[in-house]
Amino acid sequence: MSLNIAVMVSGGGTNLQSIIDAVKSGVLKSKVKVVISNNKNAYGLIRAKKENIESIHISKKDFKNSAEYEKELLKILKDREIDLIVLAGYLGIIPESIVSEFKDKIINIHPSLIPSFCGKDFYGIKVHEKALERGVKITGATTHFVDSGIDTGKIIKQKAIEIKEGTTAKELQEQVLEVEHKILVESIKNIEQNKVNN
Ligand code: GRF
């Protein structure tokens, strides 16, 4: 089934790019209707523009209160008849009103094997630094549904990789990023095929 997807980004957007490429190659049947970012300089917005996908910068701090922000974000999603919201390197918090309106329709990609190295303050390279500091022998990536917590929703997919002796945090981030790209597309494909339930 083809889904109308909204991808929310805050940074480089390589996960977004993996979704775009999967749609273009026919691996995914869905359509990226809009890319939304809370960071006007996010390269993910550039990636969207290059593919003629609508891109929107919207940030809570530009509104007089959170209710106005939430109302606008909900309108953006509803007006585009979004079926699935994908958080792909999105560093903002999704308002409770949106989480409940889109229950079981928001997924996130996290660069560790949840429940390790996740939750508040665990994002970006910090996740990998903590994994190396702890001395774990494997790490990986997780896709999960978004609920009212941080990285606490039902897990959809996980893929592990071994950490080789001497790997730096930067090298590990690159290795995990490749896994993220793979399981994010697989997770969306499973949702398209109704193979995932929350
Ligand atoms: C990545 O480290 C990823 O783990 C996390 O956000 C970071 C940026 O990803 N989800 P992207 O290149 O912006 O997709």
Model confidence band, residue 196 (pLDDT cutoffs 50, 70, 90)? confident
Ligand 1 atom having least distance to the Cα of 125: 2
CATH number for the domain that contains residue 66? 3.40.50.170
**Has residue 98 been placed in a domain?**
yes
Predicted TM-score (pTM) above 0.85: yes
**Has residue 122 been placed in a domain?**
yes
Q: Give me ligand 1 centre to Cα 13, in Å.
A: 7
Number of structural domains in the chain: 1
Range of the domain at 174: 4-192
Ligand 1 atom having least distance to the Cα of 18: 14
**Has residue 138 been placed in a domain?**
yes
pLDDT tens per residue, range 138-193: 999 999 999 999 999 999 999 999 999 999 999 999 999 999 999 999 999 999 99
**Has residue 101 been placed in a domain?**
yes
* Residues near ligand 1 (Cβ within 6 A): 9, 11-16, 44, 88-89, 109, 111, 124, 173, 177, 180
Residue nearest to atom 9 of ligand 1 (CA): 89
**Has residue 30 been placed in a domain?**
yes
pLDDT tens per residue, range 113-136: 999 999 999 999 999 999 999 999
Which three-class secondary structure string do you get for the chain?
A: CCCEEEEEECCCCHHHHHHHHHHHCCCCCCEEEEEEECCCCCHHHHHHHHCCCEEEECCHHHCCCHHHHHHHHHHHHHHCCCCEEEECCCCCCCCHHHHHHCCCCEEEEECCCCCCCCCCCCCCHHHHHHHHHHCCCEEEEEEEECCCCCCCCCEEEEEEEECCCCCCHHHHHHHHHHHHHHHHHHHHHHHHCCCCCC
**Has residue 50 been placed in a domain?**
yes
**Has residue 198 been placed in a domain?**
no
